[in-house]
Structure 1
Amino acid sequence: MSLTSQTPFVAPRTVVDERADILDYRVLDGEEWDRAIAGFDGVCQEQLFAYAQLRWPGVALEPVLFSQGGRALGGALVMLQRLPLGLATIALVKWGPFLADNQAGDAEGRMAWIIDTLVAEYVNRRGMMVSIMPKVEASEDNRVAAMLAERGFRPGVGVRYPLRYVVDVTLDDDTRMAAFGQKWRYNLRKSLKAGLDFEMAAPHEVERFMALYQAMSERKLFPDFSGIATVEGLMAMPEGTARPELFFVRHGEKTVAGAVIFTAGDTACYLYGATDDAALDLRAGYFLHWHIIRWLRDNSRAKLYDLGGTDGFAGLHQFKSGMVGEAGHISPLPPVMNHATHWRAHAMGAAAYKGREILTRSRDAVLAARLDLQRRFKRGVKA
């Protein structure tokens, strides 16, 4: 049975395949998908339908649930990007596929099974290029990337700054405090004496965060290629889904820092953060993350807290590496892994990725130059 769709997402349907190497799989509608995967160990924000439809509005989405004997084993939100003239299609899975149970004794076998099923459907049957961007792992040798390579996938374009900073959130307060870098621990202790308050906010308070973020953006004039426009949609997700949580730090009545945190699954993720002018002297960022780590330990299933990357900023590297300290890991994201057996899909897909890389670097250079001019003008006005 075909899963082909010409619409943003397809109607639910099930494929039962009797070959031993292929799982049963079913395409869900968006809301059903977000509810179905909310309790999976490997769920992440990039695999949420609510996120992807806002972040990537030009692609078709196929949320595929894999099962065996009626038991869900994992999933993959597949993004279908048709290339110019309809000559080929790329089926992209970003930070997936993922498992329902990462601790299962045959977890690696289940992941391999899911990958083989994706290849059978999108590469072999539909003639597409499949591109998979695996999640970061606590090693330079990414197991999922290795599985893909064994199946004929080839490395493609990687992110410019691939290191991800991941904190262990399972430790008690004293052990976690001791594991921070020395300077990070010093600044945290200063913040704990600064009269700050930490609070978890309701989803409807997202406008409070967006106002803080907007003010910070105007103040710092930094290039922003993030998915910040998705925040309000994410916070509007219904109960029973992997809706992020919202946290703030106050100094008196004034909000000085805030963060949107993905808390579902076994790896939480820092999505977006914002600070006020006063936050630096108050060391509010240290205070905020300390309490987020403690909240995750006490209120979620998360074992790890992914802080993201640095985009090459030395200050972010210092801050995040100090937070990881001796309990967590700093590991690279592998490049996207591509596989196609049809010559047209392979050639067109490779050309599309190369073209996108050139355009992205050109855009970044132009924006960086423009922001530099704005900063110089701003300094000149103040002088």
Structure 2
Amino acid sequence: MITVKRLSKETWDALTPMFRDTSYRQLSGYADAAARRVGATSELNGLYEDQTLVGLADVRVKTVPLTPFGIGYLSHAPVTRNDSSFSPEKFGRCVEALRREYVERRRLVLRVVPALVGGQFQELQIAMLEASGFRPCTRQRPRGTFILDLARPLSAIRKDADLHWRRNLAKAEKADIRITRSFEPDDFDQFEPIFLELTKQKDFKTNQDVLFFKNIQPEIPADQKLVLHLAWHGQELVAGHLGSFVGDTAIYLLGAANSKGRDLRASYLLHWTVIEYAQRTGNSYYDLGGIDQQRNPGVFRFKQGLNGRAVTDVGPYECSPGSLQSGVLHFLEAARNRLLS
């Protein structure tokens, strides 16, 4: 039987590189900041079978004050893959151990979005979740994205992109754009004005913005830090790309270009540089980040142009200790969402 054991930040940071399906969401610095942002706490759990570590799972726990009600949330966890294979049995045993701990013992609603893993094992993940009593949580819309397989040669990836994307990349390559790479929090300050300008132009907000990621960067171990690629034309910064490259999947977190950067097609060269870097780093996939064809058709077309696979996250799936707990939490969530809308 798999047991759940709370880990220190130091132990957790040493263990996360062991798993190919880990992502920035499982980095302790991110987990803590993401939990605090919603009034929750991050619990870093090792999953052990006969003293052998078989998985990791950060669980964000949020309780309703002065009540016994609460929820535990797993974002792209548990992680269980030590290599390129996927064991549905091991994944299922880890899910069952977490259900026993959080649903049975602590009487919390447990909500799970499993690791994406390039969208390769979703039917198996769903089968294991349902076998442990989890059911789809229809109140939350799953994230869609495009996944680019990086195992192919760069020439094949470029050839498979649509004609418009290739032409814009070629234009950027001729525009005397210089790309730099940085891990330093101070360089996030250079990128932030461009990103804020974009959010103002497109009238959108994001809770996890440049400042959010800048603040967690010092808490991330050196070999797992976020990577900032910046595009320069002469001495002017014209575009930026913030990404994560841990585990088997490179992930596009934030990106923006100013008017000159858009004219120069700098974002095309940035993404191509990121693809090259992800291959060298050993990533198997490139997750191009969330997509919304209706609300942001331009970004959707840009990401679609690389001709990756359209993939949607599994879940969230949910398991509750009883209908009362589930009903109360769903009511409170709906009320909160109405207030924020």
Cα 1:288–1:208 shift into 2, 3 Å = same
Aligned residue in 2 for 1:7 = none
Q: Confirm whether residue 315 of structure 1 aligns to residue 295 of structure 2.
A: no
Deviations 1:109-139 (A, max 9, x none): 1111100100111111111111112234536
SS for the counterpart of 1:46 is: helix
Counterpart-to-counterpart distance in 2, 1:140 and 1:278? 41
Is the Cα–Cα contact under 8 Å of residues 181 and 322 in structure 1 kept in the other structure?
A: yes
Deviations 1:244-283 (A, max 9, x none): 1111111111111111111000011111112122111100
Counterpart-to-counterpart distance in 1, 2:83 and 2:320? 28
Counterpart-to-counterpart distance in 2, 1:37 and 1:162? 24
Superposed, 1:353-364 pairs within 5 Å as 353-360=333-340, 363=341
From 8, 12, 19, the counterpart of 1:33: 12
Between the aligned residues of both structures, percent identity stands at: 23
SS for the counterpart of 2:224 is: coil
Please, what is the CA RMSD of the aligned residues?
Answer: 2.2
Superposed, 1:1-383 pairs within 5 Å as 22-57=1-36, 58-104=39-85, 107-136=87-116, 137-138=118-119, 142-157=123-138, 159-160=140-141, 162-204=143-185, 205-218=187-200, 220-228=201-209, 229-240=211-222, 242-298=224-280, 300-311=281-292, 312-323=295-306, 325=307, 328-360=308-340, 363=341
Instruction: Give 5+ residue unaligned stretches, structure 1.
Output: 1-21, 364-383
Q: CA deviation at 1:221?
A: 4.6
Q: Which amino acid aligns with 2:190?
A: R
Deviations 1:295-337 (A, max 9, x none): 1101x121101111223311111111112x1xx3111223311
Is the Cα–Cα contact under 8 Å of residues 158 and 334 in structure 1 kept in the other structure?
A: no
- Range 282-291 or range 240-249, more displaced: 240-249
TM-score by length of 2: 0.90
Instruction: Give 5+ residue unaligned stretches, structure 2.
Output: none
Cα 1:158–1:348 shift into 2, 3 Å = closer
Is the Cα–Cα contact under 8 Å of residues 88 and 128 in structure 2 kept in the other structure?
A: no
Counterpart-to-counterpart distance in 1, 2:148 and 2:171? 21
Cα 1:352–1:143 shift into 2, 3 Å = farther
SS for the counterpart of 1:37 is: helix
Is the Cα–Cα contact under 8 Å of residues 209 and 258 in structure 1 kept in the other structure?
A: yes
- Range 254-263 or range 82-91, more displaced: 82-91
- Range 314-323 or range 206-215, more displaced: 206-215
Is the Cα–Cα contact under 8 Å of residues 158 and 166 in structure 2 kept in the other structure?
A: yes
Counterpart-to-counterpart distance in 2, 1:187 and 1:215? 22
Q: CA deviation at 1:141?
A: 5.1
Q: Which amino acid aligns with 1:40?
A: F
Cα 1:141–1:49 shift into 2, 3 Å = closer
Counterpart-to-counterpart distance in 2, 1:158 and 1:182? 39
Q: CA deviation at 1:357?
A: 4.3
